[in-house]
Amino acid sequence: MERRTFIAGAVAVSGVSAVGGATLSAAAEPDGSGSTADHVRGVTAITKVFGAGQKLVAVAVEYDREIDGSALSTSTFAVTDRTVTKVYANRTAELAERGSDGRYVIVELSPDDTAAALWVTQQGSGTGTATPSPSASSSGAPGGGGPKVGDSTPGGTIVAAKASLVQKGTVTTARGTRYPATGTTLTTDKVVNLIVDDFQQFTYDDSATGQTLKYNLFVPMNYDPRKRYPLVLFMHDASVVNVATEGPLVQGLGAVCWASPEDQARHECFVLAPEYGSVVVDDTYKPSTLFDATAGLVEAVTKKYSVDENRRYTTGQSMGAMMSLGLNIKYPDLFAAAFIVAGQWPSEQAAPLADKNLWILVSQDDDKSYSGENAITKVIQEQGTEVGTAVWDGQSTAAQFAADVRNLEKQKAPVNYASFQTGTTVAAGSGTSAHMGTWQIAYTIPGIRDWIMRQSR
């Protein structure tokens, strides 16, 4: 599947192109004469999704000649409101550990810059926040003082990926031609959204409920209908309701982590991420008909593609975690395993979960979800099912989390329950709650996903 490229605003008039307000000749002199800007053929913004959401992480400047990467440095370019961390040449408009001489100069930018954030929530993202609205709860959880079932007020905003930069130093071609510094401002005219662009967008009409669902679907790159593939359903939290269809892909890692090249190399699978137009469930635990429509969507995708019915999985955060629990109770044959992140469900309904493979992750200072999961796992144990338990430090390194997963797996329980120590899921002053901080970390731990993928119904 080819990565789609979104055009953000290229302009062409009578054979000339406009970049940053300067009119550039369509044909550069072959010997390198003319202004430096004449040799720029395009500027591409590159985005990447992190736990806190999508960010603009690089700009790729395309020249008309192959560029000598050895002559580049972080001072070669200045990007408005951004910190340049790395500059190198490359053959394509892509990030690389090590560059190679090519027509593109990749200008990498700090993801910690305030201006990097492209997903901005009303509940705090750590890098940028919108003005709070009455529809957004302080914890980011549905119910309580937050959004109610049927509320369609968006809790987050997708910011367009744009950047402006100036070439402040000399760029030298592989043949030695020098393109001197220039005061011309270059602006991005294309966008490459890493992993996000590998999803397709569709709508599903559910005949049983009359509901229409927008959804994103990742199809394995080398899909072969003669094979059978696992499917992962990701359901977003209440802050993502009623935004663009791509909302579940840019709000954090919950959907895109399963579609990363690294995960797909280990576990080829479909990834399904609906975009809900309104809140589906709140703390009354009486979901709207979008709940049942979601089960219909899973079945419809299973029938359309070669999906293994015994290896369908569900995951979600907050509202999505609640839906994952509820769907496992109401539709016990739908999923083989579930990754539950910062959610809860009435314990008096939890007995059927004793027959499920679950990995539960919550923060101990997320009062509602933590107490809710404690009640659920108590019921599961009372039903005679073993529950493996562990307490983790949310600030652990990747290696430490990998060891944490292995140690919990050694308990050989069908239900694994890990909780983050109080105060370890959020940085001081970030404005992010422990509730939201949980899922910003949860989907960065590949060992949990590996465990999920080993389960079968």
Instruction: Find, among 140, 145, 147, the residue nearest to 121 by Cα.
Output: 140
Q: Are 184 and 68 in contact (CB under 8 A)?
A: no
What are the start and end residues of each CATH 2.60.40.2180 domain in the chain?
6-118+159-193
Distances (CA, A) of 362 to 279, 315, 358, 447, 456: 21, 13, 13, 16, 24
Is pTM beyond 0.85 here? yes
Three-state secondary structure along the chain?
CCCCCEECCCEEECCEEEECCEEECCCCCCCCCCCHHHHEEEEEEEEEEECCEEEEEEEEEEEEEEECHHHCCCCCEEECCCCEEEEEEECCCCCCCCCCCEEEEEEEECCCCHHHECEEECCCCCCCECCCCCCCCCCCCCCCCCCCCCCCCCCEEECCCCCEEEECCCEEECCCCEECCCCCEEECCEEEECCHHHCEEEEEECCCCCCEEEEEEECCCCCCCCCCEEEEEEECCHHHCCCCCCHHHHCCCCCHHHHCHHHHHHCCCEEEEEECCCCCCCCCCCCCCHHHHHHHHHHHHHHHCCEEEEEEEEEEECHHHHHHHHHHHHCCCCCCEEEEECCCCCHHHCHHHHHCEEEEEEECCCHHHHHHHHHHHHHHHHCCCCEEEEEECCCCCHHHHHHHHHHHHCCCCCEEEEEECCCCCCCCCCCCCHHHHHHHHHCCCHHHHHHHHCCCC
> What is d(CA 258, CA 195) in angstroms, rounded to the nearest whole number?
10
Q: The domain at 196-453 falls in which architecture?
A: 3-Layer(aba) Sandwich (3.40)
A 10 A CB-CB count for 205 gives 13
Per-residue tokens: 168: 């402040």
- The class (CATH top level) of 6-118+159-193 is mainly beta
> What is d(CA 162, CA 172) in angstroms, rounded to the nearest whole number?
26
> What is d(CA 277, CA 135) in angstroms, rounded to the nearest whole number?
14
Q: Are 212 and 203 in contact (CB under 8 A)?
A: yes
Burial 264-303 (b: 16+ CB within 10 A, else e): beebbbbbbbbbbbbbbbbbeeebbebbbbbbbbbbbbbe
> What is d(CA 430, CA 416) in angstroms, rounded to the nearest whole number?
29
Predicted pLDDT of residue 23: 32
Instruction: Give me the tens of pLDDT residue by residue for the chain, a chain 457 residues long.
Output: 434 333 333 333 223 233 333 333 333 334 555 688 899 999 999 999 999 999 999 999 999 999 999 999 999 999 999 999 999 999 999 999 999 999 999 999 999 999 999 999 865 433 343 333 323 333 344 444 578 999 999 989 999 999 999 999 999 999 999 999 999 999 999 999 999 999 999 999 999 999 999 999 999 999 999 999 999 999 999 999 999 999 999 999 999 999 999 999 999 999 999 999 999 999 999 999 999 999 999 999 999 999 999 999 999 999 999 999 999 999 999 999 999 999 999 999 999 999 999 999 999 999 899 999 999 999 999 999 999 999 999 999 999 999 999 999 999 999 999 999 999 998 766 778 999 999 999 999 999 999 999 999 9
Q: Which value, in Å, is the radius of gyration of the alpha carbons in the chain?
A: 24
Nearest-10 crossing angle of helices 446-453, 398-409: 30
Q: Are 304 and 332 in contact (CB under 8 A)?
A: no
Instruction: Find, among 271, 266, 121, the residue nearest to 195 by Cα.
Output: 271
What are the start and end residues of each CATH 3.40.50.1820 domain in the chain?
196-453
pLDDT in tens, 377-425: 999 999 999 999 999 999 999 999 999 999 999 999 999 999 999 999 9
> What is d(CA 18, CA 12) in angstroms, rounded to the nearest whole number?
7
